[in-house]
Structure 1
Amino acid sequence: MDAADLRSSSDVFLHIIEESGFAGGWHWVFATGEQRWSPGFFRLLGLDPAAIAASYDLFLDLVHPEDRSRLATPGDALQGHVAPTALLRLIRPSGELRVLSVLSEIRVSPEGRPLALSGVALDVTDRERLRQIHATEQRRRQALYLTTYATTYGVDTDDLHQFPAEVARVHGPSLHEISVDPFVMIVPEERETFRDRAYDLHDRRLHFQGTAHERLANGELWQFRIVGVPLWDETGRYLGRAGVKYPIHDSGAPVRGAAAPRDLRLTHALEQAVRGHHLRAARGLLDWSMMQLAEASGLSLSTVQRLEANAEAQGARSRHKAVAALRAGGIRFVTLDDGTLAVAKF
């Protein structure tokens, strides 16, 4: 496991490894000079956040002299010349040596001008302990379906679905059958209609949500809400889909204890479904101007204008920043049963 694997990890796992001192992240905005480190990154470097200010130069100074060339210098970063991944040694102020897997990402303007640098680091010194934490998280996710029938899932670009093995145990068909055709879990009288609608929205790279009844291997009949959302990288390249399924009552409310599990990829996918008209509606509910949204999200006015004109790439980081700012202002983006994304103020 390395830092790149964190992109597809669940929120729970990310929280666990950061709290355990295994991971952390940083962000540097070039125009303002603002730098932020997560609490986990301070712990990773062996620094006290109350006594030390976040600084990319300081991070670089702690890297073993023989490994510093694997990270971009501040000057290189400002020019946009950043190696995406690196494995390097870090010397904490205490003298302790750690090995870090580092993932760095540069954000640029539509004209290609470097705007910011973000990164995440994973401590891989003790790979066995990290493997054990990861295995524990996998067992937790697997056990979740056996007890609640709720799970997240992924769909790759070849349309193969990735479910935990416990889904096959609960429903009866083999995991291979389910990965090729997950609709085999749906009762026959609903299957064709549900499949046709799902594939239609899938082919058009649109957000899908629906409910269906599924017969379990033990004969019980349960109703599930199933959500599938396209996932994109920052350049707009389609990566597949992220999804979730969980049982619901006839009223549509989740069965107690079976609320949709959180997953970082699904959260990103849902935020990427927010389009320009959603942003305009959200601003209207808050009585915000474009400039106010720009200030709240740390974006430029021109970036907000591009977002509202749907001129930014679907997976652009700016979209996530705008959504986060609106949520902080009291806005919620709610998915309805027909797949429509509604905007509400709480």
Structure 2
Amino acid sequence: MLQLEAHLGISDVLRLIEEKLGAGVWRCDAAGQMQWSRGFFRLLGLDPHAVSPSYTEIQRRIHPDDRGPTRGPSELMIDRTLLDGEFRIIRPNGALRWINCHTEVLLNSAGEPECILGIALDITAQRRLVQTLRSDAERYSALTQVVGGLLWIGSSDGRITALPNGEKTPEAHRLLGKGWADLLHEDEREAALRSWTASVETGRRYSVEHRLREPDNTYRWYHCTAVPVTNADGSIQEWMGLSIDVHQEKLSVQHAATSQLTGAQLRAARGILNWSVKQLAARTGISSAIIRRLEEYDDAPPMSDETTEILRRVFSDAGIEFLFPSVGEPAVRPRR
């Protein structure tokens, strides 16, 4: 380092630091007289040939909401906080910049304060990044509160490591680690674990429906989806998942197999597919006249089991689900 100092002048080092780091240096003596480096003039957006360094000029540039109490420049020696820390400045052209200023009192040979030295850094880019991260964190926090299901974070080895909104479901802690796998219904366990392994190996979306054992030893249906969160190089860092209780919907779909279709459902299903009566007749082999007569009913029309089965099969092949909830009217939706 001593060899380096022999080859570099203080002005060269100061210029390099100020240009590369967006910094500026100032000095204030015990009488309140200030000197600014070129970098400090540049930070404030001021012309060194048109403005004289002064504490008053710095105060003029500081954002009104960030200004401290009105003090004289000589008080900087006593209270360094007047120009220490982070604050905003407004340049003459109206540009707003964030400054981080560090100060140090220098002593003379008698141990008395001689001057105060300050270095200021332009941290505008960092502040913007922090604000972006804070906004993302606030949005994420809001999402965990309004999402209609249980959010979870998992590792590639199948462990659930965190439940961001788990406080909404106290018993959800049972899913942590590999507890969720132990709670799977035996009829769906193998398929669910196989799907998870395939998603981990390929990075594709994980999406399954399965039953989980509840604290009272009953089972409920859940629709579980997860997507990978990747690193910059594309490798998988973790998985973000969502489990939604679809128990009632699942029972409604199962109940639909033994429930009578209504005329309103037939009309709605045909409307979703944008089929004409003639097109439905061609696909089912049922005459247009019979289809029109069936659709005249809002409730279940009289039809044979064979006709019902044909209509169910054709609409099912086209991606339509008939729902028969325990509460409310029969409904129709595209299959998920």
TM-score, normalized by length of structure 2? 0.32
TM-score w.r.t. the length of structure 1 is: 0.31
* Structure with max Cα Rg: 2
